[in-house]
Structure 1
Amino acid sequence: MPHLNLLTVFNPSNYGRSGYVTVPWQAIAPQLQIPPTEIVLSDLRDLSQTPIKAQIDRVDPEDPSRDVLLFHLSQPIPAGSQDDVFASAFIRIDKGQPLPTQLGEPSLEVVYGSDGRERGVRFVNNRLIVWFNLIPAPEDNGRNWFSGSATSVQLDHQEILDPFPAAKGEWLGQEPEKRCMQVSAIQLPGTPHPKSPYYQVSLYNHTYRLVAQSSGPVRASITIASEPFDYMGVDPQTGQNRHLVCELYRVISLYTGADYLIEELFVKGKPKNPDDRIADAPEVVYLPFGVHYFAHMNLGQTQDIEQVFPVPDWFAVGSTAPPYAAYGLATNLHIEAIAHPHEGNLNCFSWQLLPGTSVKCLHLFMRDQPEGFDAKVGHYWYELIYDPLRAEIYQDIGKSQQSLVGIGNRQ
């Protein structure tokens, strides 16, 4: 029997699920021996071997361990178990020609200034058009506090950050302060000398640089990095005080057909000087950090922010008047605090996440859904953040066939 390369897919839920699957590419590439540009995936249940949407992204050119294989399962796979005892599906990996580009796939456009530097990125799929700003002053004036924020989000071709004029077809005169997804500041562990509980870095008025970009049938994605900042504190890996030069990395992705963006964040530090290097210690240090987010959205009168306890990992806020614009956040870290209104402004709100070395957030945009939008945020939190579909390499053909028989019996 010819050798097959297979991925085993696990559904941790007690109901059938479809959706996106992410696999670390470096963990499976040596066994496959297939160039990334020639990877073709198909569902083993599909006898016609119709290719499924898949792509391989390079997230950080300096760190191949962050490369990922992403694919989309359009048909639900059977229920599985939390402990990954039962496989729910098998994906065949072959060498061939990937799917050609199709109309409606997510795309991005990087816009450059006259100085050759990136000013912003335009994301597009069949639901969202998002302008993400990389510089502090997009209008080239004194209003220099917009860096690292989405200053326009169109849901089904209507602006969601200032929805009332947009609902009337008015594009001029919209709120100039509108923005969301802005990381206004981050907090790192404080220094022992002088003793400080935390070290705060403001980012709203500092430029980001583009590190990587990719687009394909699954998602359009960018990796951006903040301006470097100095940090003197304890290395979490060695326990020693070090002088590091750090950057906040943000990986922002728009998936096919999604009404949300997903971003992943981490802080990467490197020794400031040769004297700051430690023998046998990694060159790159990933520091724990807390995130401060800020948003300015003209939602008018809103309901109280809905948040679930004792697991405060998501919230939703929505307008009580048509067109019922709403925003939701889901994250893998606990939300420590929410301020709404922010500093007395009803159109502003901010929130802070507890520290972690890796942060993942989902930013959801909704309209014309006066009831139940908070439940939608919670559902996305569960399936896309807390317990996503998982996959790993699997090549034992005999066991695979036995497992598939078991799956058929359970359906």
Structure 2
Amino acid sequence: MGHLSIWSFPTRIVFGAGAAKQTGAEAARLGSKHALVVTDKGVMGAGLFAPIEASLREAGITWTIFDGVLGNPIEANVHDGVRAFQESGADLVIAIGGGSPLDVGKLVRLGIHHHRPLAEYDDAIGGDRYITANVPPMLALPTTAGTGSEVGRSGVVTLDVNHRKTVIFSPHLLANAAILDPELTRSMPAFLTAATGMDALTHCLEAYVAKGDHPMADGIALEGIRHVGRYLERAVKHGVDLEARGGMMKAAMMGAVAFQKGLGACHSLAHPLSSEHGTHHGLANALCLPAVCAFNAEVAGARLAEVSVLLGGEASPAGCVEAVRRLRERIGLPGTLTQAGVPRGNLDRLADLAFQDACHQSNPRPCTRDDLRALYEACF
């Protein structure tokens, strides 16, 4: 018997303008009486909770708000959320926001009945074997169009023990339903729209060229890239364009479905930029993606050429590098690490951290630590 592949696409997704008004009905479907709303100050300040609140009230469901999630979540955010869940007597997590609240929401569920230190659940050391189905249900409502965390099966958090962004991964962490309402992304400013959109593109592109055989992920990745090419610039320049907003929500969701196949070197480069320098994850990806495409050209040329065409470029690997650069420029993002405020002096530490990051293991071209250092160099 040859090598077996296992493919899985299980999330229930409710999509469309006004979908947030279904939150109460979805919560009731899960038998909930009291929800813990996991979110951040930005979401609450932007008034995005209003339609959700109305629908919970209508369904007779009470709630407690935990809005203590940071932009790059740390372990304390998870422990505080677990305590809020237990003290409020909640039976459901409703996570609302960008990737950070959605990830923290998943890890709060984990912490209710799983009591090991979070570091022991680290996916890189096989921690998923400790994660069981004994987690409370969760609804996920993204307010950005980037991470696709609403359909992902992992939470990323910076741990106390190593100060490293750590992936905790299990199918048991999938949300019971994702509610995708383009109206919740309308208030995203242009920079955030651009940066999160480039995150979605990077997920799709890295998954498409990643090692391994996963035709469903490949097909979804290509369709996600097509959506980015069609809608990202529109969403950045005309924030009220609900069709473009919806198109980018689909692209983000498809990116996260696709990257169960694997990611690549770009994500390994991006993660330390966030943990060391606070660079927005989507921006970090946007800064590194052209160099990584060029690096992968010799082994993934045909696929990169296909990606290029979907982004309006020439059918070649060089065309893909150029198309990504042009898109980045059109949506107003900086083009170099220097412009993004990353100091050159930290290169060796960044390269060490990037090499420790597991994402590059599925990159189509193997990467040494020195390769990763040279890729950083190319991004200045």
Q: Give the TM-score normalised by structure 1.
A: 0.23
Higher Cα Rg, which structure: 1
Select the structure that is richer in helix. 2
